[in-house]
């Protein structure tokens, strides 16, 4: 295996020919590995990062995406390999936590395994497989309750419409009664006519003319 890339701006090479070596020019950075992680994967980029980890030291090595297959084929039977997804890991924070809590190799592996893409995918599949037969019954009962509530609402609406119609009928009846009462309250014209007749009968001149 011979993979070239950069760490920061410095050209870096990772090789394996029975022994691992990560180096920059004449400087060797690592000669042993506990595990490796791929990050910035699953995105439309030409490069990814491989993080080489040993004894609390880590190096984020940017390489060509095509080199992933070469690395996996060479090291998959020798060390643990993880993929933590599209986002880069917060390795400085994790290293600080590891120092504070005195992590060993297995602690690192357990932690990285818990955030790897494969582990998260397995958890999702497990959640899907843990189907509760009662869940569908609960959902159907909830649907029934919703249907009952809808029917009750429709009945209430119909009752409200009937009440509105009754109110309109009562209102129209009250208007008819008021109109009838108003007609009775108007003065009677026959009385004024009767008074005029009485005045004629009692006036002598008018009686004479009538007799003539």
Read off the pLDDT of residues 164-202 as tens digits, 9 standing for 90 and up. Answer: 666 666 666 666 555 555 555 544 455 544 444 454 455
- Domains: count for the chain: 1
Residue 57 makes CB contacts below 8 A (sequence gap 6+) with 30
Collapsing DSSP to helix, strand or coil, 64 comes out as strand
**pLDDT exceeds cutoff 60 at 4:** yes
Q: With respect to residue 18, please indicate whether it lies within any of the assigned structural domains.
A: yes
Give me the domain span that covers residue 20.
2-128
Helix or strand holding residue 48 (H, E) = strand 47-54
Q: With respect to residue 172, please indicate whether it lies within any of the assigned structural domains.
A: no
**pLDDT exceeds cutoff 70 at 44:** yes
Angle between helices 117-129 and 105-115 (to 10 degrees): 60
Whether the model clears a pTM of 0.75, i.e. scores above it, the answer is: no
What is the reported pLDDT for 140?
46
Q: With respect to residue 118, please indicate whether it lies within any of the assigned structural domains.
A: yes
What is the reported pLDDT for 156?
63
Q: With respect to residue 180, please indicate whether it lies within any of the assigned structural domains.
A: no
Across-strand partners of 56? none
Per the prediction, the chain carries an average pLDDT of 76
Q: What is the CATH number of the domain that holds 94?
A: 2.30.29.30
Phi-psi region of 202 (alpha: psi -120 to 50; beta: other; left: phi over 0): alpha
Q: With respect to residue 59, please indicate whether it lies within any of the assigned structural domains.
A: yes
What is the reported pLDDT for 200?
47
What is the reported pLDDT for 72?
95
Q: With respect to residue 195, please indicate whether it lies within any of the assigned structural domains.
A: no
Q: For residue 37, what pLDDT band results from cuts at 50, 70 and 90?
A: very high
């Amino acid at each position: 295996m011979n993979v070239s890339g950069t760490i920061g701006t410095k050209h870096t090479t990772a090789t394996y020919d029975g022994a691992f070596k990560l180096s920059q020019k004449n400087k060797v950075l690592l000669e042993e590995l506990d595990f490796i992680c791929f990050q910035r994967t699953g995105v439309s980029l030409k490069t990814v990062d491989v993080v080489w980890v040993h004894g609390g030291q880590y190096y984020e090595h940017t390489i060509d995406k095509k080199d992933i297959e070469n690395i996996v084929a060479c090291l998959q039977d020798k060390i643990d390999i993880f993929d933590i997804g599209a986002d880069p890991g917060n390795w400085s924070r994790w290293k600080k936590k590891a120092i504070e809590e005195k992590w060993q190799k297995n602690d690192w592996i357990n932690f990285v395994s818990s955030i790897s893409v494969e582990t998260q995918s397995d958890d999702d599949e497990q959640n899907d497989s843990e189907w509760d037969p009662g869940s569908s019954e609960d959902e159907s009962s909830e649907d029934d309750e919703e249907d009952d509530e809808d029917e009750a609402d429709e009945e209430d609406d119909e009752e409200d419409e009937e009440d509105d119609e009754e109110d309109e009928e009562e209102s129209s009846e009250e208007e008819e009664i008021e109109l009838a009462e108003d007609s009775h309250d108007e003065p009677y014209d026959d009385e004024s006519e009767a008074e005029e007749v009485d005045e004629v009968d009692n006036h002598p001149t008018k009686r004479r003319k009538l007799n003539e």
